[in-house]
Amino acid sequence: MRDYGADWARRCTVTSGDVPAASDLDPRSISQILESLGWAAIAESQGLPYQRWTNRVSSEQLLVPTDTTKADYDALLARVYRTLADEHGRAFEEVRRLTMLQARAHLDAIRWIKDTPLESGIIAWDVGEEMFQVARSSLAAAAKATRETRRYFGNSSAYIAKRFLADTLMGQTEVGSFIVTAYTPSDRRFFFSKSSEETAPSKMIDPESKTGADIIDKLDEIVTAVRGKLDEFKHTPNAEAFDEIVPVGFSYEMANALSLLARGGDGGIRIARTGAGTSRPVDREIAFDAVEAPVLDKVAVRFAATREPEVANLVGEVTLLDHISSSGDRTIRLHVSNHPGVRTVRVRLSADQYDDAIEAHRDEKSLKVTGTIEREGRYNWVYSPSAVSIVDVSDDDDDDPSSSTPSELSRQAQLSLLDDDIANPSD
């Protein structure tokens, strides 16, 4: 189990006794707090030393100072603090502490937002579950894209995605539409493989890794590129144009996640950065309309059909044995249990490998096949696998982190961010 270390626990500890000075509540922090409590900024002319906000429920307005050089800046900001404390009570205190924690621990906040026709914050159960899958798949796809770009990742680059998700924290629900929030460590480093992580201490610089900030930069870059292509699609409806942003990191997995986000109601991704180690804008939101879900669905299907060959370990049940004696061809159909996105695959085997397949089928055991998955027409194929063996239970080494269940580490990491102490798991 990952040891987060004393520094991580210290930075992720904010006690109820922390009462900030007015200078601690800068305009950016106040804006984040106001949005979390259901306030909306009112458009103002450029250059004004303040920003007006309105409460979406009560329509009350609040004047927030933005020019730190003004003599009354601290006094006005303190007044905002008192107003919010009186208006929202404990909710304001909790949101304020969370905002302080985010700054102290260098956590980037990513929010997936889904509009709903029901009461604010209420959503159909299955749609709510889909939203958590959207968040998980988006983060995993972005992490993988920092190592390589592919139309279809499958199990490729799974290590960095698993490690990144294991270090991601989950936030509380907020006022507004249904919102899923992830807090990602911007300054923590994530490695492309287990071997690169193990050898890192002996190297001055390890190019086989990315920081959490790099991964969120990539997420920002990908969804921005997708937004641009969707805007182009309105005027020139050509799904092939999305091929142009595959080198940016767009993939089947991201297309599928964004389609799910927009399906049945408008959605969006809001990214709030700590400012540590990023060159991207600090706070921004990218919106996706419900009518764009079918377009993203079409792109996802196209990417899946034209995906690059992929080396993988496949485990599953042998459901078909086919031996043509005249040509010597020996083919099986494997019902795959450990590879999301590949339900069945046809495998061409040698004579000895075919004997193993017969034995696995006869004894009702699983067969493990290592080889390159290629797409031909409607079918997935593995030709001349490098290894074939009989296994008693499914080997999940290649499980995609975007669809696996949370590990014990993930459960530890997703403890409430507002507890006085965050768990510090040890090996």
pLDDT at 8: 47
Please check whether residue 34 is in contact with residue 53, taking contact to mean a CB–CB distance below 8 angstroms: yes
Instruction: Grade residue 418 by pLDDT with cuts at 50, 70 and 90.
Output: very low
Residues 213-241 pLDDT 10s: 999 999 999 999 999 999 999 999 999 99
Please check whether residue 160 is in contact with residue 191, taking contact to mean a CB–CB distance below 8 angstroms: yes
Instruction: Grade residue 121 by pLDDT with cuts at 50, 70 and 90.
Output: low
- Mean pLDDT value of segment 332-348: 90
Instruction: Grade residue 248 by pLDDT with cuts at 50, 70 and 90.
Output: very high
Give the residue carrying structure tokens 């260098």: 106
How many Å apart are CA 373 and CA 309, to the nearest integer?
Answer: 5
- Tell me the two tokens of residue 238: 């050509």
Residues 360-370 pLDDT 10s: 999 999 999 99
Closest CA to 209 of 156, 147, 165, 166: 147
Where are the chain's structural domains? Answer: 24-104, 106-308, 310-391
Instruction: Grade residue 279 by pLDDT with cuts at 50, 70 and 90.
Output: low
pLDDT at 417: 34
With 80 as the cut, is the pLDDT of residue 203 above it? no
pLDDT at 16: 41
Beta strands in 186-259 (DSSP E): 189-191, 209-211
- Give the class (CATH, top level) of 310-391: mainly beta
What percent of the chain has pLDDT above 90? 45
Residues 65-117 pLDDT 10s: 888 888 888 888 888 888 898 889 888 888 888 888 887 888 999 999 998 77
With 60 as the cut, is the pLDDT of residue 23 above it? no
Please check whether residue 98 is in contact with residue 37, taking contact to mean a CB–CB distance below 8 angstroms: no
- Tell me the two tokens of residue 289: 């309309």
pLDDT at 48: 85
What percent of the chain has pLDDT above 70? 81
pTM score above 0.85: no
pLDDT at 175: 60
pLDDT at 415: 37
pLDDT at 424: 36
Closest CA to 414 of 179, 95, 207, 170: 170
- Mean pLDDT value of segment 39-43: 86
pLDDT at 322: 93
pLDDT at 274: 74
Who wins on pLDDT, 266 or 405?
A: 266
pLDDT at 173: 67
With 60 as the cut, is the pLDDT of residue 167 above it? yes
Who wins on pLDDT, 45 or 147?
A: 147
